[in-house]
């Protein structure tokens, strides 16, 4: 039976300088992306002002242009995972604080409610596995990296560590110019306050669990 190709919806993101960068997203993602964009805009604006920072101040500390920051705060663009990491470092807050607010009592994060973040090229997907604000010290994500793809991550805040578990496929992790090769079932712990690169050398998508540990 011939399969029918579903029409993809187009979403627009911007890079660090605010330039348009187009990519395709699966149908149904637009609504979730809009909600995530609204939440990030509110959290970014609140935390920036609470720290007495202007857009120019944050642009200088994060390396993200003032134009791009303004577009995020006004919900005119959906930020990528790389862009959010730069902003979190510039603000000095855990990554998850930009995604949502902690709630009192027990909090459940349903799989369908988790907002997937993507890299600018769409080859890396990051899905939170912990409710936003669950802990200021630890965050857990499921990463999916396309075959033969690389994702470069800038240094996180000082004292940040990562623990990565390979669920399926392979991982070649580059830290400070040194490459570490891992297969399914392997785990690596490393200092994430330096540049690091995730590489999937395999011919199929790879899945990882990523635990981020902050030093407070």
* pTM, rounded to two decimals: 0.65
Q: At 188, phi and psi to the nearest 5?
A: -135, 140
Find the helix or strand (DSSP H, E) in which 25 lies. strand 20-25
Q: Is a pLDDT exceeding 90 seen at residue 212? A: yes
Nearest partner of 42 among 69, 74, 10, judged by Cα: 74
Q: In this structure, are residues 90 and 63 in contact, taking their beta carbons and an 8 Å threshold?
A: yes
pLDDT at 4: 40
CATH class assigned to 10-98 = mainly alpha
**What average pLDDT does this structure show over 69-75?**
91
pLDDT band for position 33 (cuts 50, 70, 90)? low
pLDDT one-digit tens code per residue, 184-209? 999 999 999 999 999 999 999 999 99
Burial of 85 (0-12, 13-18, 19+ CB in 10 A): buried
Q: Is a pLDDT exceeding 90 seen at residue 66? A: yes
**What average pLDDT does this structure show over 53-60?**
94
Q: Distance between CA atoms of 83 and 187, rounded to whole angstroms?
A: 26
pLDDT at 24: 42
Q: Which residue has the higher pLDDT, 55 or 154?
A: 55
* Residue 26 token pair: 């699966």
- Beta partners for residue 22, in sequence order: 12
* Average pLDDT of the chain to the nearest whole number: 82
Q: In this structure, are residues 104 and 47 in contact, taking their beta carbons and an 8 Å threshold?
A: no
pLDDT band for position 60 (cuts 50, 70, 90)? very high
Q: Where are the domains of the chain?
A: 10-98, 137-213
**What average pLDDT does this structure show over 88-111?**
78
Q: Distance between CA atoms of 79 and 13, rounded to whole angstroms?
A: 6
pLDDT one-digit tens code per residue, 112-135? 878 788 898 999 999 989 887 677
DSSP characters over 150-214: EEEE---STT-EEEEEEEESEEEEEETTEEEEEETT-EEEEE-SS-EEEE--SSS-EEEEEEEE-
CATH class assigned to 137-213 = mainly beta
**What average pLDDT does this structure show over 42-68?**
92
What's the sign of the alpha-carbon dihedral 146, 152, 65, 114?
A: positive
pLDDT at 85: 85
* Residue 128 token pair: 């939170």
């Amino acid at each position: 039976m011939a399969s029918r190709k579903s029409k993809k919806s187009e979403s627009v993101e911007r890079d660090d300088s605010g330039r348009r960068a187009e990519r395709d997203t699966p149908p149904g993602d637009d609504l979730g992306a809009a909600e995530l964009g609204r939440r990030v805009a509110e959290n970014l604006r609140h935390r920036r002002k609470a720290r007495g920072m202007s857009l120019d101040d944050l642009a200088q500390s994060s390396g993200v242009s003032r134009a791009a920051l303004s577009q995020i705060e006004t919900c005119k663009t959906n930020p990528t995972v790389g862009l959010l990491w730069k902003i979190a470092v510039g603000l000095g807050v855990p990554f998850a604080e930009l995604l949502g607010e902690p709630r009192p009592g027990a909090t459940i994060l349903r799989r369908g409610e988790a907002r997937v973040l993507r890299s600018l090229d769409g080859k890396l997907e990051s899905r939170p596995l912990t409710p936003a604000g669950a802990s200021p010290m630890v965050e857990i994500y499921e990463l999916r990296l396309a075959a033969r793809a690389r994702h470069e991550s800038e240094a996180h805040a000082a004292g940040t560590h990562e623990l990565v578990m390979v669920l399926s496929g392979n991982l070649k992790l580059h830290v400070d110019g040194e490459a570490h090769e891992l297969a399914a079932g392997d785990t690596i712990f490393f200092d994430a306050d330096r540049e690091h690169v995730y590489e999937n050398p395999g011919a199929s998508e790879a899945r990882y669990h990523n635990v981020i540990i902050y030093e407070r």
